[in-house]
Amino acid sequence: MSQLWTKIRYGVRWNPAERLALATRALNLQKVKSIDISIDPLHHDNLSIRTFWHSIMAPKVRLTNPNVRVKTEIRNDRRAPFFVTTLDDGHKLHISTENMTAMDVIMNFNRLTGQPELGKAGTRPRTKI
């Protein structure tokens, strides 16, 4: 209808999958020294940390900082999964991912490592083809 209506309707969308995709694309390990992941594979709520693990091992993300050491501990104690990130300045981030979705994990990670949560562009209307 009009530009304004398009803008209003665009803001009304609720699309978590898109936010996850944007957050994943915005991942950047420049300020990270190491990531220690600790999972119990039989814990019921470990999908989010596995998704996070998968997305930080993607080649494009690894290339942002090849020196990042990713260490994984597979436990067998039915405890909640977590990971500890050591930043360049020695600060540590202990994120326990129970009850988080993958989007929450990645957005938190982006925010705490000083990156924009949803990337520089953020959500934006699709360009017309």
Partner 1 sequence: MLRLYTSNCANRIKTVIETASRLQSTTTTSAGHKFQRKEDTKDGTTYVSMERVSDSRGPRKEDELCSLCTCNVPVQLSYKDVLILEQFMREDGTVLPRQLTGLCKKQQLRLERCVMQAFWSGLFGDKYGSEADRAGYKRFNRYWKNDMSMYQLETKERHGTWFYIKRYPTKNQPLFKNPLN
Contact footprint for partner 1 (CB under 8 A)? 2-5, 7-14, 19, 84, 90-96, 98-101, 104, 107-108, 112, 117
Minimum CB–partner distance for residue 100 and partner 1 (Å): 6
The answer to whether the beta carbons of residues 53 and 72 sit under 8 Å apart is yes
Q: CA-CA distance, 34 to 68, in Å (whole number)?
A: 5
Q: CA-CA distance, 105 to 55, in Å (whole number)?
A: 11
For partner 1, the closer CB: 36 or 62 = 36
For partner 1, the closer CB: 9 or 60 = 9
Q: CA-CA distance, 100 to 49, in Å (whole number)?
A: 9
With CA atoms as reference, report the closest residue to 38 among 102, 89, 98.
Answer: 98
Minimum CB–partner distance for residue 99 and partner 1 (Å): 4
Minimum CB–partner distance for residue 6 and partner 1 (Å): 10
For partner 1, the closer CB: 3 or 67 = 3
For partner 1, the closer CB: 15 or 30 = 15
Q: For every residue of 33-68, which 3-state class applies, written as one string?
A: EEEEEEECCCCCCCHHHHHHHHHHCCHHHHCCCCCC
Please give the single-letter amino acid code of residue 20.
L
Minimum CB–partner distance for residue 112 and partner 1 (Å): 6
